[in-house]
Amino acid sequence: MTARLYYTNSFLRAFDATIVERADSGRRLYLDRSAFYPTSGGQPNDLGVLGGVRVVDVVDEDDRVAHVLEQPYDGPDAVHGEIDWPRRWDFAQQHTGQHLLSGACDALFDWPTVSVHFGDAMSTLEIAAPAVSPKQLRRLEEHANALITENRSVTVTFEDAAAVAPRLRRPSGRTGTLRIVTIEGHDVSACGGTHLRSTGEIGAILLRRVEKIRENTRIEFVCGTRAVRRARADYDALSGVAERLSASIDEVPPLVQSRVDDAKALAASNRKLIDEVSGHRARAQWDGTTPDSGGVRRLRAADGVSADELRAWAAACAALPATLAAGVVRESRTIAFAVSPDLGVNAGAVLKDVLQTVGGRGGGSPRTAQGTVPSDEQIDNVLAALLATAAARA
């Protein structure tokens, strides 16, 4: 059994211990006592140095803790361990901040916490709420940060599960003695993670993206030093946008919206022009093409057209009488195929059949279809096969 020193002192940075077992040729050590936190409860493990060798993973194995080293250790059983303190402090800020945030979700909106995840850059809190409005998110953030400025104490106690159950924010489901983390006058939780001594040490909580997950909502958050770094990165990004727009930061949102609206209007106008030009091109090709013995005109799109132009051209060809049309965007090997309705041929079925013979994939409606060809060498043969196959079925 490993005595877990972080249970009683999350601020212990160094310790001495005795190796009780070695595994994996000395790359996996078991100690009689350890301050290294193993991955559990959504919180990643500590890193650091043990016996002069870097610790790359710490694994919870029920009643003992495995320390996975970067390279084998072949020294004496008495070892000295040192925790990567900046990492420990960072995750203690995130974890204590999560307890405070979960308590605030309960207190303000009756949103129970479903799960938590602490990542290296961002953490998430999943709550049992179908939606979170921007107004609710701001209120939650303001309330959480107000609790931080009150510098409430954060304490760790060991209590009987039955006795403490009525005070817990979330039922534990365990029996016996529980490790209880209490934020004064705000939250009581059964937790084995590393925590701070007061809410003031959290520094700040910044709430970010909100995402719907099934019937729940996931809130992305950062605490402490991470919040400062994230706020600085956001400011730098916004400043860069403002500089490119020759505007102040406060002017960016309406200017960006205006540019987006303009871009949408231009895109719509461009699509309309492409459709009109493609229609004229299709008609000009049709007029300049001699029908075969069955009265069918076979058209090929000009090389160099864009995907949008090819799509519009194919649609225009499908609207012409007794017409088969095929084209390609060579850069992406995207094939488009069109058939006039009066020919009684299914464009999607023909395209699918022809592409299957060369290992390609595609399909579509009876009038127009699209697919891709596996290699450049097959393109021209596929185009010819489409026109010939469809003509034979007409």
- Residue 345 is predicted with a pLDDT of 92
Average pLDDT rounded to a whole number, residues 48-66: 96
Within this chain, do residues 51 and 111 fall inside the same structural domain, yes or no? no
Full domain range(s) for residue 304: 270-393
The three-point CA angle 19-20-23 to 5° equals: 85
- In this structure, is residue 265 part of a structural domain? no
Distance CA 145, CA 81 (A): 35
**Per-residue pLDDT tens over the stretch 345-357:** 999 999 999 999 9
Question: Among the three residues 83, 106, 141, which one is the final residue of a domain in this structure?
Answer: 83
Within this chain, do residues 78 and 113 fall inside the same structural domain, yes or no? no
Within this chain, do residues 200 and 310 fall inside the same structural domain, yes or no? no
Distance CA 103, CA 208 (A): 18
pLDDT band at 338 (very low <50, low <70, confident <90, very high): very high
| Closest of 334, 330, 381 to residue 357, by C-alpha | 381
**Per-residue pLDDT tens over the stretch 371-383:** 999 999 999 999 9
Within this chain, do residues 121 and 237 fall inside the same structural domain, yes or no? yes
- In this structure, is residue 253 part of a structural domain? no
- In this structure, is residue 264 part of a structural domain? no
Average pLDDT rounded to a whole number, residues 103-112: 97
- In this structure, is residue 327 part of a structural domain? yes
- Residue 374 is predicted with a pLDDT of 93
Beta bridge partners of 180: 157, 190
Within this chain, do residues 47 and 163 fall inside the same structural domain, yes or no? no
Q: What is the dihedral of CA 90, 132, 180, 59, to 10 degrees?
A: -50
In this structure, what CATH number is given to the domain that contains residue 39? 2.40.30.130
Residue 392: is its pLDDT beyond 90? no
Across the chain, mean pLDDT equals 95
Contact between 36 and 48 (Cβ < 8 Å): yes
In this structure, what CATH number is given to the domain that contains residue 213? 3.30.980.10
- In this structure, is residue 258 part of a structural domain? no
Within this chain, do residues 210 and 313 fall inside the same structural domain, yes or no? no
Question: Among the three residues 51, 83, 115, which one is the final residue of a domain in this structure?
Answer: 83
Task: Report the SS3 class of residue 259.
Answer: helix
**Per-residue pLDDT tens over the stretch 235-271:** 999 999 999 989 999 999 999 999 999 999 999 999 9
Within this chain, do residues 54 and 122 fall inside the same structural domain, yes or no? no
- Residue 113 is predicted with a pLDDT of 96
Distance CA 359, CA 380 (A): 15
In this structure, what CATH number is given to the domain that contains residue 356? 3.10.310.40
Task: Report the SS3 class of residue 278.
Answer: helix
Question: What percentage of the chain exceeds 90 in pLDDT?
Answer: 93
Residue 394: is its pLDDT beyond 90? no
Distance CA 15, CA 22 (A): 19
Within this chain, do residues 147 and 191 fall inside the same structural domain, yes or no? yes
pLDDT band at 54 (very low <50, low <70, confident <90, very high): very high
Within this chain, do residues 161 and 35 fall inside the same structural domain, yes or no? no
Q: What's the structural domain count of the chain?
A: 3
Task: Report the SS3 class of residue 81.
Answer: strand
Residue 173: is its pLDDT beyond 90? no
Higher pLDDT residue, 363 or 16? Answer: 16
Please give the single-letter amino acid code of residue 61: E
Question: Among the three residues 61, 83, 105, which one is the final residue of a domain in this structure?
Answer: 83
Within this chain, do residues 134 and 229 fall inside the same structural domain, yes or no? yes
- Residue 325 is predicted with a pLDDT of 94
- Residue 41 is predicted with a pLDDT of 85
- In this structure, is residue 144 part of a structural domain? yes
Within this chain, do residues 97 and 67 fall inside the same structural domain, yes or no? no
Within this chain, do residues 185 and 161 fall inside the same structural domain, yes or no? yes
Burial 211-232 (b: 16+ CB within 10 A, else e): eeeeebbbbbbbbbebbeebee
Distance CA 37, CA 118 (A): 14
**Per-residue pLDDT tens over the stretch 179-206:** 999 999 999 999 999 999 999 999 999 9
> Taking the CA of residue 247 as centre, how many other CA atoms within 13 Å lie in the half-sphere pointing to its CB?
12
- In this structure, is residue 118 part of a structural domain? yes
